[in-house]
Structure 1
Amino acid sequence: MLSNHFERLSAVLKRYCALWQYVPFAHSTPPWLHTYRELGDALFALPPASLNLLLNNDDQAENWIAPFLPDLVALQDDWLSTPAPVTNALPFWLTNGIKGRKLSQITAFTAQLPSSPNHWLEWCAGKGHLGRAALFGPVHQVSSIEWQQSLCESGQRLAERHHCQQNFIHADVLQDDVSNYVHQQCGVMALHACGQLHMQLLFMAKQQKVPAVLVCPCCYHLIRDEQYTGMSQLAQQQQLTLSKLDLKLPLQQIVTTGARGQRLRDTELLWRLSFSHYVSLLTEKQVYTPLPNFAKSLLTHSYEDFCRWACAEKSIPFDASLLLDSLALGETQRQGLARMELVRQRFRKPLEYWLILDRALFLQEAGYQVDVMRFCDFSITPRNLLIKAHLAN
């Protein structure tokens, strides 16, 4: 079942790779227009108000694109398993210091823990909130591994204060030998472990034949290699190579945000694009100029202040006469980028399913029985896909 759906996803992602495997910032118009003429005509015929409506409503966007890409929209998620319901609330004294949505994530995650084994290893634990919550279910003992010493110390103090059977291990799971902690007598769990971190856990789980695995992946792009070709044998046979930019695609939807947050994101996008045009006007070379992350307080100043900072960052001269033209060009590109993203974002969910199934099939190929489920509502976290596996006898 999982492999069949994975192969269907692979076929669709490869067939339409031109629609999503490119750098939008590097193009003023979609690079696929000559190949998908009808889709392009319909895209540019959309008035701005309709475009914004579709960008903010996945269901309506899928209905809009369905006549052009019917096999994409036809992909189903009926292969997902049904999670166990959340039945027990955690004691109030245990939840102090855990923010609302994080608490809901932890409660939903621990509800999926099986009745055995009794001992679990919490991977990339932070202060160990997940591990302590697990102790109020079927779990008797938790070992929590974390690379920041200060978080280990804070977590250990909390465990002792609440009389929890939880011990902390200070280690860097990507550098240190932690094989002694991943073994056949304990299950392993990770909630929102990023890229290489959760991949390392799955590799070790397979190697050490741990009895049970519960992993909710996050930040697929945070990997060692520049490209990703798949963990499972089936994925490696698909010849679908993904860049780090591709791996960021599933993460680009934001669940909730205030008006101020939306304004800041819009401003950041516009100013990043505009500054790239500023560089092009200055150098007479049409190339996209990326900028590093910066303090969002910079967005509360003027575009001129932003450009002065960016020029200093890139060690190029500042020319105030280019500000208005570059800002106008940035706004034009921003509108074009929104149209590109309307199509590109339709591959966000299929690609995340592909990545999740790759991990699930990796475990399945190693002899595990595997279920994949949405363990909580999307409004609690968009990274709500959980891999639950146990080693078959």
Structure 2
Amino acid sequence: MTDDDKALRLALADRLAAYGYLRTAPWRAAVEEVPRHAFLRGGFFERVADSAPTAWRPVMPDNPRWLPRCYDDDSLITQIAGTIVPRDIHGQILRAPTSSSTMPGLVVRMLEDLQVAADHRVLEIGTGTGYSTGLLCHRLGDGQVTSVEVDEDVAGRARVALSEIGYFPHAIVGDGLTGDPDAAPYDRLIATCGVVDLPYTWVEQIRPGGIILTTLCGWLYSSELARLTVGEDGTARGRLLGGQISFMLARPQLPPPLGMLPDLDNGDQRPAAMAVNALDDWNTRFVAQLAAPAAQLIQLDRNGRTEHVLIDVSAGSWASLAQDKGAWIVRQGGPARLWDAVEEHITRWRADGAPGLERFEVAVCPEGQNVTWPKV
């Protein structure tokens, strides 16, 4: 490691401490010693300014901007479309990102919120580049850290990067939603991917009193960090921590393809009690997800106007909202009335004082996941 590398790591630690993300000496020591650029030697993608749709171009280690960018508090895209890495592209690509090096501030905030002790065994879901794994290894020791990554190529690159700087955690290639039952129980579980439904297999693999830290998300893409403590009764309970945390969804919980749309001209129509732009608010959209957890929201230009379509592919339910002479109209079809459920949920939440998401409570038991809010 060069003096420049060390200076960049120290400067990153200073910034993260100033932001309030880095709060304790052991994690500061990890940030100062673990080189983030070691996990980005294959380059990363940066967004092309003013591109629509979003285009990405590679930044490789021979670019003078590469090393300083590795120490920005920014998420850096490392894979696109499930297989494409920076060295594969000369020019630009328009596909969607599928893996990244999460912004260090968020990584450190989560590690601090995990509340580890020196003797804890930690199960990490989502190895990614391996940077957060390296921080865990520095803090706890290799033997205390297990990391699971679903993508074999991503896992391989992380394993090489970790070994090159002297870390050898237990690395598993597989579905992170199944965890690591063979080596359970663990003291802590941290997930660096979003989940729509927190799997009960995670709860089963954490000892009573242990903590699960993950991001609860939905297909309307409002998400929040949740910290749950596993009880003696086998139920994990806790709260959302706030902060509008966002991660890529765990691949097995990605929304299904939309396929052929239903006949949006055939359905029950009524005046909408709530405009669709109510969902522009992050908290309101999170509440809407609780009402219609399997629904996706798309926008169509049809019949000379813009329609906003909420659709549950599996159930076949849908709701289409559009403006007619300044008033919002909703048309709904399928076995469930999606917008009815969304309006009812949001109205009840507002009547309860619209409590912030940091006051929402989460419980996960064998029967499933339940998210509730208190009255203000």
TM-score (norm 1): 0.39
- Structure (1 or 2) with the greater helix fraction: 1
Point out which structure has higher relative CO (alpha carbons under 8 A, 6+ apart): 1
TM-score (norm 2): 0.40
- Structure (1 or 2) with the greater strand fraction: 2
